[in-house]
Amino acid sequence: MSYQIKPFIEAIGISVIGGGLFHVVSLPLAWMLGPLTSVMLWEGLTTRTLVWPDFLKKLGLIILGISFGFYFTFESLKIVGPFIIPYLLITVILILISIFNSAFITKWINIDKKTSVFGSIPGGLAEMVVASEDVKANSALVMVFQTIRLLVVLFTVPFIITQFFPHDSNAISAVMTIPDTNILSLHGLWLILPILLGIKYQHSLPAGIMIIPLAVTATISISSINIPSIPPLIFLIAQLFVGASLGKSISLTDIKLAKKYAIIYIGLACWLIVLSFGFGILLESMTTMDLQTAILSTAPGGLVEMVLTASIVGADPAIVTSLQLMRVMVIVLVAPSALKWYFSRKINDRNKIA
């Protein structure tokens, strides 16, 4: 056990340095993307192997889920209803465009269609890797391409939103918008409920470790029970926990496997982001949603980062959470099965012809 303590302390130090540097230069999501970058680069550019317990990532996601839950009100839940149909339509169109683009480029590169498509779908990295194995795609490259897509989204969307859209000075994190109740008071016991339920039902739906605490906190908050907010320092530490864990899971060595294809899939990810921004503008024109909320709702993930960005720029985190979760559900529950059926059918058709 002792042999893991030093690498863990080293990981904490590297994460704090990364978050601090990002904060000093005013980069978006500093305490999430800073640790992600510093941990990823430190392991990739040195021979050091850091240790980051998985339970810290889960704890961070639970805390973020509780914090985001305070944004939900009766009004926000009513507002989401009319957005569902146009949003689902936009989500399906984006997925189809992603599939078409990733299949189309295989005409000019030495990557098979199955690997390209599963590596480009906007969301559900683990699910896409598993599904790609079932259709005999190159699951290693699928993981690499999905990692590239995730990095492009995380480092571009928050930056564009925070830099090119007006910042609402009155919009501060959810932890600061509710009555000041001491977290150490008896009311703080209410926070045990979302934590326990989040742990128990974390595998019941995509991102359950965050969504379950969010839903439970929202329910308690809407019921007018006076529960304490998450202190700002703990909120930042939660971001660090998640960011460091993401950095630990991303390997520069794996990314190098893509070699010359990395640029192509970076381009595909950027093109999808541009399209999602266009669809966000369209969604805003079709609904009563403000532009920042619409764009963050249509952005191709990740859910946590988009909701966090919404809380920074004064968008509606409740709406972004609801719609992004819907997007994730469609991608994770429908896309892998549909693609497996499609590619399996093509294989069977070829076998019949042969």
Structure tokens at 193: 């409920």
Do 23 and 240 form a contact (C-beta atoms < 8 A)? Answer: no
Following DSSP, what letter does each residue of 7-70 receive, concatenated? Answer: HHHHHHHHHHHHHHHHHHTT-TTHHHHHHHHHHHHHHHHSS------HHHHHHHHHHHHHHHHT
Give the DSSP letter of residue 108.
T
Do 231 and 7 form a contact (C-beta atoms < 8 A)? Answer: no
Confidence of residue 38 (pLDDT cuts 50, 70, 90): very high
Where are the chain's structural domains? 57-353
Q: What distance in Å separates the CA atoms of residue 350 and residue 207, rounded to the nearest whole number? A: 38
CA count, 13 A, side-chain hemisphere, 249: 17
Q: Is the dihedral of CA 184, 190, 192, 195 positive or negative?
A: negative
Q: What distance in Å separates the CA atoms of residue 31 and residue 105, rounded to the nearest whole number? A: 36
Give the DSSP letter of residue 229.
P
pTM value is 0.81
Q: Could you tell me the CA-to-CA distances from 265 to 149, 171, 245, 354 in Å, in that order? A: 7, 35, 24, 33
Residues of the chain with pLDDT > 70: what percent? 90
Q: Which residue has the higher pLDDT, 186 or 200?
A: 200
- pLDDT at position 135 is 78
pLDDT in tens, 91-108: 999 999 999 999 999 999
Secondary structure class of 104 (helix, strand, coil): helix
Cβ neighbors of 244 (< 8 A, separation 6 or more) are 11, 12, 14, 15, 35, 36, 39, 52, 56
Do 252 and 47 form a contact (C-beta atoms < 8 A)? Answer: no
pLDDT in tens, 317-327: 989 988 998 88
Q: Is the dihedral of CA 344, 346, 347, 348 positive or negative?
A: positive
pLDDT in tens, 130-151: 778 877 888 888 888 988 998 9
Do 194 and 221 form a contact (C-beta atoms < 8 A)? Answer: no
Tell me the residue type at 44: G
